[in-house]
Structure 1
Amino acid sequence: MGVGTIWLLLTVAVGLQFIIQTQAIFGDSRIDGSTDGSTDGSTEGSTDVDETPLTPPPELAVELSFTLKHEFVPELDNRSSQEYMDLVNIVESECGDILREAFGCAFMECIARCFRPALVWIQTTQTQVVVTVVLKSSASADLIPTTSQVLQAVIDGANNTNSTILSGSVVVIATTLTTTPAPPTSTTTAVTPMAIPLSFTSRGETFTAGLMDSSSPVFMARDVLIVTSLEPVYNNTFPSFMSLNVTGFRNGSIINDLLMLFSAGNVPNITDIANVLINASSNITAFNISVSSITVNGTVVSVSSGVSHKISLITASFFVLLSWLLSSQH
């Protein structure tokens, strides 16, 4: 093999190595998302391009939905409008401040995904937003919050008088976080929650297909109504009460399935839990509560049983008194 041939082969090898290294560095990424290898922004032949970045979902994230104290305008449907960008900045800034204060270095960012008008039967003119809360996967495991902790942090922050978020409207849409708190690193004893299922029927209300989908506006709206109506009642009655969440709805008028959390070791009995709902039913107008349909922890609580026992006791007392009066006359 001649010297010229060897030199030619070495030149080709070096050229191929350069191409391979360049491809490894830059890959197939394109600034404009085109598929023809160009970087001139050409999108020939494409229609209705979605401007949402095609990025994989974060490893640790919670997707929330909540309503803002902000009037919805048509410009919020346009991602390039000034109104859209201004509201994104407001939401991401406020949400970021709340979660940064709550979780420190474990928090990464808050991303406003989209805006839409809130449901008419909640608030006609206000704006609903979907937000993704991203946490640092590199953070220590004991610093990463659970889904419920993220939710509660946003609700607590929304209770601030200067907040644009309606605290009663905050719900979780999706999550990649655990629902179990990380093991404590100190000697402090963690509070262990006790879950108690609760269900009741809203007679006279119509079940729709949207109530089977937890991400639908109808489901989320009813979820907000029930939680915001019942949580304060139970919170004021039982010191051990922690939270109340809607787990689903079923057909049969509308059967509402809930899950209540109490501090373990101080859980009220099923009768006391049911009685709170019974007593509150006359004051709640947002939805119907059929007091004869209440089930607590799998047990149907009979409303009439307590009354019938009282009547039986009164009746027995009457006959004892009558018997005594009759005997005293002889």
Structure 2
Amino acid sequence: MESVVKEPFQEELRNRESPEFKALAKKVVSIFEFIFRKRFGEFFLRIIVLRFSPASPARARRQARTTVDTEAEVEAVFNRSASVQELPQASEVTEVVRQDVANTSITSQFNISLDASSITVTKDINTTANATTPAAPTPVANATTPVATNATTPVATNATTPVANATTPVATNATTAAATTPATTTEALIVKRLSFKTDETFTSDLLDTSSTAFTDRATLLKTQLEPFYKAAFTAFRFLTAQSFSNGSIVNNVALSFGGSAPNASAVGEVLVNAASNITAFKIDTSSITVDGTSVSSGVSHKISLLTASLLVVLSWILSNQQ
């Protein structure tokens, strides 16, 4: 997806590690994740900024401006476990995003101005649903150009004798391009929705996904919880904080798994077991739900059975000693 940001382009924006790139990317990610999460709910995962580049100089001339705006190319990652019918189509995404970007009450929240008419979806949503390697499709498409050129030109101009030789550079160039082009990752991601309460004071800025409080808390949950899930499940990929609400703090996160995912009980049990090892906040283990189903009670029930079994064994040993 492409969009023009109404901010002058700087050469530093070409460098992903520059402070200018990171600052603008943060604003772009915040507003688009807000829009996509509101519009597409559980099917949406995240936004990735692929690159910034200068907008068309013709645009600046039309607006009688001496500076050139910044064009942002981003990727919207959707959950491939959804069916093709459930995923939004390119035309639908273009329309709803344009509507929200034109709403100044939304853009003002994120301190960014976008040109609604410039919003274009460059690929079908179904084909990019879980692509996790940025910009891979571009070099792959370009790789076909030298193959076609080298294959047809020598054959046409050098008659029939060089035909056999003409196939050699075609194969060689094709192989080289394929070898040097990053492979597109199309792993299907299965998402588990995890919710739990912590004994902290809720503040209203946690409702704003672009706020420092939201970003800091999202990072905290990621650093505190991801190691436990990585250790427990080889299929675990990453954790994404989606929202926070009052009570003291209700934390709603998405756990993404590749290939296969554990059941709700197993996901909840990892958090129950990890609770005593986490000192940054205190988890209310009775509040844990996975995909809307309470799992903490099932874990507690297993513990109770184990405790009861031990007590029976202990009682039997003591009675035999008397």
Structure number with larger C-alpha Rg: 1
**Shorter-chain TM-score category?**
0.3 to 0.5
TM-score where L is the length of structure 1: 0.45
TM-score where L is the length of structure 2: 0.46
- Structure number with the higher helix fraction is 2
